[in-house]
Every structure is written in C-alpha cells, then in structure tokens.
C-alpha cells in the first residue's frame, strides 16, 4: 500500500511538472512571436469630431462657464499628439493647410529640432498658414496648373498618415473624413519616395499666395468666447 502511494505521488508530481512546463513554453513562444512579428500596425481616425474643439481647453484650461465648444479629446487632438511625438522628421504633403492647431504643432516640432518639410498646393494654403514660413519651416509649393492633391504625412520615416482629410478646422469638425495610420514598410516606402520626388520637383518654388482670411477654428473660438463672456 505504501509503495502504491509513493508511485502515485511520483506520477502526480511528474504530471504537474509536465503540464507546468508546457504552459510556460507556450507563454514564452507566444511572447516571442509577438515581439518578433513583422505584422504592421494600423489604425483609422474617422471624422467628423462633431464640432469645434475649444482652443483654451486644448491649451490646458477653459475659464468660460458657458463655453459650447468641445471639451474632450478628439481625432484632431490625436493628430496633434502624433505630431508632438515626432523625434527626427515630419514630412507633410497636403492639399489644404489652414488648421491653426496642427500648424502650431508643426512649428513647435520645428522649434524642438525636428526637421519639418511641407509640400502644398499654391492656391490652397491659407489663413494662419503664413506662420509656417515665418517660423522658418521648409515649404515648397506646386505652382503648376494642375493640383497637388495629396493628403499624407510621414513621421520619422516610420509612421504614415493618409486619407481624405485636409488640414482644416471645419473638415475635422463637420466633414465625413478619414485618416489611415500604418507603419507597413512597403506602403511607407512608396509614400516616402513620392514625397522626395515632389520635394525635388518643386525645388525653388516657395512663393505662397496667402488668402486674407483667418483660420476657421480661431474665428469660431473667438466668437463663442466673446458671446459667453458677454452673457
């Protein structure tokens, strides 16, 4: 009886060790595969955000009690955060550039030492966009009869953002737009190649015809906050 009990105990311990080893091996294998996986990451930002975001709230605090602008994170905010996360370079190829929040993020990145290059369509850069050249950012424009209709951005040559969205405040607030984000190397390389080709093509072409308007998000913020202040 004693011998049978000892044999049972040994078998039980051996079985438990085998099961434990199998579980640990599979956990290790799963983690290794995740770490070594070449599968690209991808996500999508969908617009509209549902309204204009309060610039005061974005900057840290809105002191207007009756402010009707958005006081929460939006997809435009998420784009801004991606710009703020750039370490080495930001290459922007954009048909329309007028959103003050995103332009300010580009300027701040430039001030931190990030190389910022912009290719845009000559007739579609307006409003507060004059700040990007005043701040010393490299801008090249398509002065040809055709349109530079691309809408994409490359961060650190590692992240691509592309889609239908132009950098306008009203587009983010009300238009049905999309931004696709990926680090898939093959796709990324195609856009890097296109940007470099356009950068060379438009060399020496930096004259921008500014439209005499102010960015829509700035107008909306001023109007709403003045109205709230009077009330």
Question: How many domains does the structure of the chain reveal?
Answer: 2
Co-location of 120 and 205 in the same domain: yes
3-state secondary structure of 104: helix
Co-location of 46 and 89 in the same domain: yes
Co-location of 207 and 157 in the same domain: yes
What is residue 231's predicted lDDT score, i.e. its pLDDT? 43
- Given a contact cutoff of 8 angstroms between Cβ atoms, the answer to whether 57 and 103 are in contact is no
Co-location of 72 and 103 in the same domain: yes
What is residue 75's predicted lDDT score, i.e. its pLDDT? 94
Co-location of 132 and 204 in the same domain: yes
Q: Which residues contact 127 (CB under 8 A, 6 or more apart)?
A: 98, 100, 211, 213, 214, 215, 216, 218
Co-location of 145 and 216 in the same domain: yes
3-state secondary structure of 151: strand
Q: Do the strands 138-142 and 115-121 form a parallel or antiparallel pair, or are they unpaired?
A: parallel
Co-location of 116 and 156 in the same domain: yes
Burial of residue 51 (CB within 10 Å: 0-12, 13-18, 19+) is middle
Co-location of 122 and 222 in the same domain: yes
C-alpha torsion 158→163→166→170, nearest 10 = -120
Rounded to whole angstroms, the Cα distance separating 193 from 196 reads 5
DSSP 210: -
Total residue count of the chain as it appears in this document: 231
pLDDT by residue, tens only, the chain of 231 residues: 555 555 555 556 555 555 666 665 565 555 555 454 566 778 999 999 999 888 788 778 898 988 989 988 999 999 999 999 999 999 999 998 888 889 999 999 999 999 999 999 876 665 556 778 788 899 998 888 889 999 999 999 999 999 999 999 889 999 999 999 999 999 999 999 999 999 999 998 766 655 433 445 544 444 455 555 554
Co-location of 104 and 132 in the same domain: yes
User: What strands, in cross-sheet order, belong to the sheet with 177-182?
Assistant: 42-47, 177-182, 159-163, 151-155, 89-94, 115-121, 138-142
- Looking at the annotation, which residues are catalytic? 149, 151, 156
- Given a contact cutoff of 8 angstroms between Cβ atoms, the answer to whether 169 and 100 are in contact is yes
Q: Facing residues of 205 across strands?
A: none
Co-location of 212 and 143 in the same domain: yes
What is residue 59's predicted lDDT score, i.e. its pLDDT? 79
The parent domain of residue 13 ranges over: 1-37
Instruction: Note the pTM of the prediction, 2 decimals.
Output: 0.73
Rounded to whole angstroms, the Cα distance separating 147 from 7 reads 83
Co-location of 169 and 139 in the same domain: yes
Co-location of 121 and 11 in the same domain: no
CATH code for position 204? 3.30.870.10
């Amino acid at each position: 009886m004693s011998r049978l009990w000892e044999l049972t105990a040994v078998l039980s311990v051996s079985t438990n060790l085998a099961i434990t080893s199998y579980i640990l091996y599979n956990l290790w294998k799963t983690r290794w595969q995740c770490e070594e996986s070449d599968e690209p990451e991808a996500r999508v930002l969908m617009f509209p955000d549902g309204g204009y975001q309060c610039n005061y709230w974005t900057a840290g605090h809105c002191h207007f009690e009756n402010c009707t602008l958005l006081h929460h994170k939006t997809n435009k905010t998420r784009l801004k955060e991606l710009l703020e996360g750039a370490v080495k370079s930001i290459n922007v190829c954009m048909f329309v550039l007028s959103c003050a929040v995103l332009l300010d993020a580009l300027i701040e990145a430039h001030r931190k030492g990030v190389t910022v290059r912009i290719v845009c369509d000559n007739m579609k850069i307006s409003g507060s966009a004059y700040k990007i050249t005043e701040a010393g950012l490299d801008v090249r424009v398509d002065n040809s009869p055709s349109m530079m209709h691309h809408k994409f951005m490359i961060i650190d040559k590692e992240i691509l953002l592309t889609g239908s969205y132009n950098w306008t405040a009203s587009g983010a607030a009300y238009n049905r737009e999309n931004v696709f984000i990926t680090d898939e190397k093959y796709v990324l390389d195609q856009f890097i190649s296109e940007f470099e080709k356009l950068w060379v093509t438009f060399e020496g072409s930096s004259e921008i015809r500014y439209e005499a308007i102010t960015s829509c998000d700035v107008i909306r913020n001023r109007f709403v906050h003045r109205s709230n202040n009077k009330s």
